[in-house]
Chain A
């Protein structure tokens, strides 16, 4: 692990596993001391497992809403789309026909979604915790502390992953 300078983003936590009841679709939230959150996929997410090829990433999450349309202006970030925990950020389609929805997991204003992964989806799998991030969200000042309270620590997360592996029925 590279030694980081003082200001780096530290992994704040993982939302309770299986976001939206989907098995293993874990997200990892990185939070800076200034409360800015970066939404990423956790290591255990299906998309990051061997053999998965991403066909396309779509930020158009409904007829009226595209995350790419998000416009933010000024110091107070007016005009940003407001996100709740379960708000979808994007839908990712794979070559094997599976589709995954990435959720915000954090309440706040959407700053930006990562357009670099549109051009080169493999970045998401190669560097999920840095260049392959999904989105940047700015929570409200009053809520910035409580956001991490609902998430798992790195340790708690790892325990859950181990449990899952142990509980997995034998497959051929």
Chain B
């Protein structure tokens, strides 16, 4: 059913005579239900013309049709605008007004510049969907984001002023909210078409985003007058981008007075020389997160790649051994590895391992069963004996918060092999077992002072347990507060960590080996590995 009534005729006629498309006419007449917009353009054009026609109206309707100015016949195969225009005037001869031209979009609408003409119809949507499908992403829903050239806001504003004036003549008012927004109408039409073509629902919360950016060559031209009327709305252009951004234009339109606007910009908006074109069609998937715990069995493996002056100093790294497999399987663009603290190159991580999380950026594959993840875990574990992972699982973004909490708040336990300069007996180290919650002051260790601020850290050694080996060696187990430098607690770092094992024993001590025995964080949840 045609959605316009008698009361809408004058507005519809006025807009149609200026070169406005049927769907934009609906918007300005406040048609706020979806169905009419979704009908094919051809049909809408025909029904509109019928609606506007009266018995003796044939001739006046003909006159009311806008002269066809410079027309750009849209090449239906290309999406990117070919900037060449037909030189000179071209008049299409319509012998019978009931003949619908073969190419119904002869004129770009003077308000939407084609957005609610061909760019919301099946053919265009299909083209977008083809690109989506060929990009190889896995998705169960999608969110569609679209961006229009800024001068659509200017033309919309001009049309609003025009219609407002016309309605004023009839004693009616027209607020901005009475008009259906262009983007809304566009989504009403395009969303069902996307769903139909791709077989998935459109969901605002989806991680998979399809985005289309439209542009129009006359943007700067159409918007230019705003920069003289409201100069403070426009910031100097960065790089080569236009100074007329959507936000700046909208801001200026809010400020400018009606009569000032009407002086500077044609009301009704003039016929554009060209249609919009879709300059960018892209899709991207939001990051997914994989967490787990890792053990480190090598004393020669850095956490992150160790490269100086383009030269790799040590082969591989914890993060590469874990993440590279994930990167491949998820077909992601890149990864970000984070863990609950970390250990030095020469320190092993034993026990339950250290929690970690890997962010996979723009993954193409996201559907994994828990069986798939188990196999992925096995794959990682087979690939290297330097690290092993457990409890591998998909998690949400909150994962990162858990990591940091673990790093800063939770206790760790260690095992150190200690050397002493003085010869010792068992009884000489027993006293260490009795020290509970020993407070130590650690100046920033010299070995990290080049990249950390100089400060004093107060830390707690909660418990210690010693195991005598021989006159110059014993094993020290300790449970400490997060952020304690263990090596410095043993050798004293030039007396800059006080007290230290050496000072406690009135001698000199050094650390030969260090292992992390446990990281006391109960996240991620343990799985039946």
Is chain B found bound to chain A in the same assembly? yes
Q: Report yes or no: B450 in contact with A35, Cβ–Cβ below 8 A.
A: yes
Smallest beta-carbon distance B42→chain A, Å? 67
Q: Report yes or no: B487 in contact with A5, Cβ–Cβ below 8 A.
A: yes
Given the interface pairs A3-B512, A38-B494, A131-B495, the reply to whether A9 lies near B446 with Cβ below 8 Å is yes
Which residues of B lie under 8 Å from residue A35 when comparing CB positions? 450
Additional A-B contacts beyond A34-B448, A38-B446 (18; CB < 8 A): A3-B510, A4-B510, A5-B512, A6-B345, A6-B346, A32-B447, A34-B451, A38-B494, A73-B453, A75-B451, A77-B454, A111-B449, A111-B454, A114-B494, A130-B492, A133-B494, A133-B495, A136-B446
Residues of A bordering B, CB below 8 Å: 2-7, 9, 32, 34-36, 38, 72-75, 77, 111-112, 114, 116, 123, 130-131, 133, 136, 138
Main secondary structure of the interface of B (DSSP, over half): loop
B408 contacts chain A at the CB level, 8 A cutoff: no
Main secondary structure of the interface of A (DSSP, over half): loop
Q: Which of B344, B346, B494, B495 has the most CB of A within 10 A?
A: B494
**In the bound complex, how far is the Cα of B495 from the Cα of A54, in angstroms?**
20
Q: List 21 A-B contacts (CB under 8 A).
A: A2-B508, A3-B419, A3-B512, A5-B487, A5-B512, A6-B346, A7-B487, A32-B446, A32-B447, A34-B447, A34-B448, A34-B450, A36-B447, A36-B449, A116-B495, A123-B495, A130-B492, A130-B495, A131-B492, A133-B495, A138-B450
Which residues of A lie under 8 Å from residue B510 when comparing CB positions? 2-5
**In the bound complex, how far is the Cα of B508 from the Cα of A130, in angstroms?**
10
Which residues of B lie under 8 Å from residue A77 when comparing CB positions? 453-454
Given the interface pairs A3-B512, A36-B449, A111-B454, the reply to whether A131 lies near B346 with Cβ below 8 Å is no
Q: Which of A5, A35, A72, A136 has the most CB of B within 10 A?
A: A5
Specify the chain B residue showing the minimal Cβ separation from A33.
Answer: B447
Among all A-B residue pairs, the 3 with the closest Cβ atoms? A131-B495, A34-B450, A2-B510
B452 contacts chain A at the CB level, 8 A cutoff: yes
Q: Report yes or no: B494 in contact with A130, Cβ–Cβ below 8 A.
A: yes
B290 contacts chain A at the CB level, 8 A cutoff: no
**In the bound complex, how far is the Cα of B53 from the Cα of A154, in angstroms?**
106
Q: Mark B486-514, 1 if CB is under 8 A from A, else 0.
A: 01000010110000000000001011100
Which residues of A lie under 8 Å from residue B454 when comparing CB positions? 72, 77, 111-112
**In the bound complex, how far is the Cα of B344 from the Cα of A34, in angstroms?**
15
B203 contacts chain A at the CB level, 8 A cutoff: no
B421 contacts chain A at the CB level, 8 A cutoff: yes
**In the bound complex, how far is the Cα of B450 from the Cα of A136, in angstroms?**
11
Specify the chain B residue showing the minimal Cβ separation from A80.
Answer: B454
Which residues of B lie under 8 Å from residue A130 when comparing CB positions? 492, 494-495, 508
Smallest beta-carbon distance A114→chain B, Å? 8
Which residues of A lie under 8 Å from residue B346 when comparing CB positions? 5-6
**In the bound complex, how far is the Cα of B421 from the Cα of A35, in angstroms?**
28
Smallest beta-carbon distance B303→chain A, Å? 15
Q: Report yes or no: B452 in contact with A75, Cβ–Cβ below 8 A.
A: yes
Interface residues of B in 435-470 (CB under 8 A from A): 443, 446-454
Which residues of A lie under 8 Å from residue B511 when comparing CB positions? 5
Which residues of B lie under 8 Å from residue A5 when comparing CB positions? 346, 487, 510-512
